[in-house]
Amino acid sequence: MVEPSFAERTVINHKSYLKNGRVVTSPAINITETDVITGDGAVIGYEYLVIATGHNDWYPKTRQEKLSQYQAEYEKIKASESVLIVGGGPSGVELAAEIAVDFPGKKEMKQGYIAENHANVVVKNLKVMMSGGKKKMSTYKPGPEIAIVSLGRKDSVAQFPFATVVGCLPGLIKSKDLFVGKMRKARGLNPKLAQG
């Protein structure tokens, strides 16, 4: 669930921060030793190819389609009499807290930073390979397990290896903007703007 007034900042055009590449929104239908052939017939050459298969769900291709999807999901929750949340991990708890704050009459573990750390190791290794591969490849080393779950817009519960903290103090870490500003800043974008 994305609050409509917050949704604008969360949808980012990849072209805004991927300055040295191009964004292609088309399925890859064939791969040769030197090229990727896309569903719309484009042939894209490569020296190094990373295959990240993901999954084949329909997803919005434009900013407006994504914002409309967020609005539709928000309206579905708003119109429902009750909401069943399957899973009691951090994502389920955050969703329950957001619903409780936005719709108090309803009955009722985001770990993005780990994925970003994995991606940073992959990027370093690709750079090593592209420069001739003489350096040793990096290995991902997990840090201590930390979870921060938003409990509405101001409070959070934070689990650290040494303690669990609840309230507005851990809320300052995440609940303020759910790390959207941090993610935008890391990509060279204005953390407060809705576009760009």
Q: pLDDT for 161-170, tens place per residue?
A: 898 888 888 7
Q: Output the pLDDT for position 32.
A: 94
Pair 148, 127 in one domain: no
Total structural domains within the chain = 3
Range of the domain at 38: 1-65
Question: Coil, strand, or helix at residue 147?
Answer: strand
Pair 53, 21 in one domain: yes
Pair 1, 61 in one domain: yes
Rounded to whole angstroms, how far apart are CA atoms 76 and 195? 26
Nearest to 67 by CA among 23, 13, 12, 11: 11
Pair 43, 29 in one domain: yes
Q: How would you list the strands of the sheet with 155-159, edge to edge?
A: 147-151, 155-159, 164-167
Q: Specify if 102 maps to a domain.
A: yes
Pair 108, 137 in one domain: yes
Whether the predicted pLDDT of 110 surpasses 50: no
Q: Specify if 158 maps to a domain.
A: yes
Q: Output the pLDDT for position 31.
A: 93
Lowest-confidence region among 95-99, 166-170, 174-178: 174-178
Whether the predicted pLDDT of 95 surpasses 90: no
Q: pLDDT for 49-72, tens place per residue?
A: 888 776 666 677 788 888 888 889
Q: Specify if 130 maps to a domain.
A: yes
Q: Specify if 120 maps to a domain.
A: yes
Rounded to whole angstroms, how far apart are CA atoms 10 and 2? 9
177, 187 contact by CB (below 8 A): no
